[in-house]
Amino acid sequence: MTTATALRYQILNPATGQVEETFETATDADVAAALDATQAAYAEWGARPMAERVAVGQRIAELFYERKDELGRIATREMGKPLSESIGEAEFCGDIFKYYADNAEKFTADQEIESTIGGKAVIQRRPVGPLLGVMPWNYPYYQIARFAAPNLMLGNTILLKHAETVPGSALAMQKLLDDAGLPQGVYQNLFATHDQVADIIADPRIQGVSVTGSERAGSAIASLAGKHLKKSVMELGGSDPFVVLDAADVNEVVETAWATRIENTGQACNSNKRMIVAEGVFDDFVAGLVEKAQGLTPGDPAEEKEGTFAPMSSRAAAEKLHEQVQDAVSKGATLHVGGELLDGPASYYSPAVLTGITPEMRAFKEELFGPVAAVYKVSDDDEALQLANDTPFGLGGSVFSTDTERARRVAERLEVGMTNVNAPSAESFEMPFGGVKRSGFGRELGPLGMDEFVNKRLLYIAD
């Protein structure tokens, strides 16, 4: 094992820039004990009748509903999400756990297949063992829930390494699952270092790893998983196209586009980071976005006063976004409104509207992970489609038109894992989530979310 590094788990309030609480990283002895415990817990949890696991899952859902306000305040404090969104996130986690508890029996039911050699052949779905989850800060409960809920119902056990910036949410999640009746060792939060994560992946008891995060993190962990022959699921970055072919009411489409882009202060993997708009509605569309962004002032995310905007998750994140926008402006892009990095230690970056982006700019290929509406003008459907697919990412995408069939034809050709017509996304607990290209591989949520870390075992009984 390796020794702990200087990695720091701390609550740094992005609205003030002040560190409010710090936590010790796990020792190597902590990691060794957690690995022992997860293996021991799997032997018992995986062997339990499904009905018993489901009962715990139902209780987890109830606790999310009961504690949503408390959980929301914790998340808002440490990563700056507007409070109503934090509360909504916690409530959605309840929906996810309830969905998998309600459907676990159906999703894992034996599947008899035709046999040409006589006898009876059945595909069984069984747990595979202890798993590692490496999760990000932007949705500190939801990201865990969509990984943990199906796997806990399957009978797998989990070690969870959360982002260093949301330790309060990580601990609140651990307490909720413990209070719901999960046996000791079934789910364990670890304030692990990067070196310890590598050691955990290498341990033969760990059977898979799920990562939601940046390309860099995904590449590093996927390479380790491959080296040690571990199954992995990767949900990485995105630069989703939001294609507008025409509009009967431009203001209505603008309202949808802006609400989607500004959700979580623009820090969502599947946000509409590239708005690709037909020239016939482009000017009105941009004017509508500018009107939405004008006059906004920094505000406390716990209060959400009208006319204010929340901070980004960290000063470093805001500074990176500012650099990307300034690079575009320096090379000829037009910044219509916003794009101001406020002075001081807080993480406020004013929502912006940017046009005139060209391939030599960082903003053309890089993910803009913050409140920037990047808008492109196109002349026809083919140009829109070409631009939509001209990205290393392939998470989601959407196409809007008064002609649904026209929009569907374009949406069908998007190189993404989730394609949508006349809606920015189809986000619900039953809708599979995941991408292609550099956005990763594997699926979470829906029935596919319970079909990743599972032993699809063949049982054959001869005549």
The residues assigned a catalytic role are 235, 269
Residue with tokens 């046996």: 183
Which amino acid is located at 244 in the chain? V
Q: What does each C-alpha distance from 230 to 66, 124, 185, 200, 202 come to in angstroms?
A: 37, 21, 21, 11, 9
Q: For residue 10, give the H/E element and its range.
A: strand 9-13
Which amino acid is located at 328 in the chain? A
Q: Are strands 308-309 and 334-337 parallel, antiparallel or unpaired?
A: unpaired
Question: For the chain, percent helix, then strand, then coil, each to nearest 5?
Answer: 40, 20, 35
Query: CA dihedral defined by 267, 270, 274, 275, rounded to 10 degrees?
Result: -110
Q: What does each C-alpha distance from 35 to 76, 202, 358, 435 come to in angstroms?
A: 32, 11, 49, 31
Q: For residue 457, give the H/E element and its range.
A: strand 454-461
Q: What does each C-alpha distance from 417 to 163, 283, 412, 443 come to in angstroms?
A: 25, 30, 11, 9
Q: In 49-176, which ranges are E strands?
A: 111-113, 120-127, 130-134, 157-161
362: left (phi over 0), alpha (psi -120 to 50) or beta: alpha
Which amino acid is located at 144 in the chain? I
* R_g over Cα of the chain: 23
Of 448, 412, 451, 453, whose CA–CA distance to 432 is shortest? Answer: 448
Of 1, 303, 314, whose CA–CA distance to 136 is shortest? Answer: 314
Number of helical H runs and strand E runs in the chain: 14, 22
Q: Is residue 312 a contact partner of residue 14, using CB atoms and an 8 Å limit?
A: yes
CA 346 to chain centre: 24
- Give the Cα separation of 360 and 44 in Å (integer): 56
Which amino acid is located at 359 in the chain? P
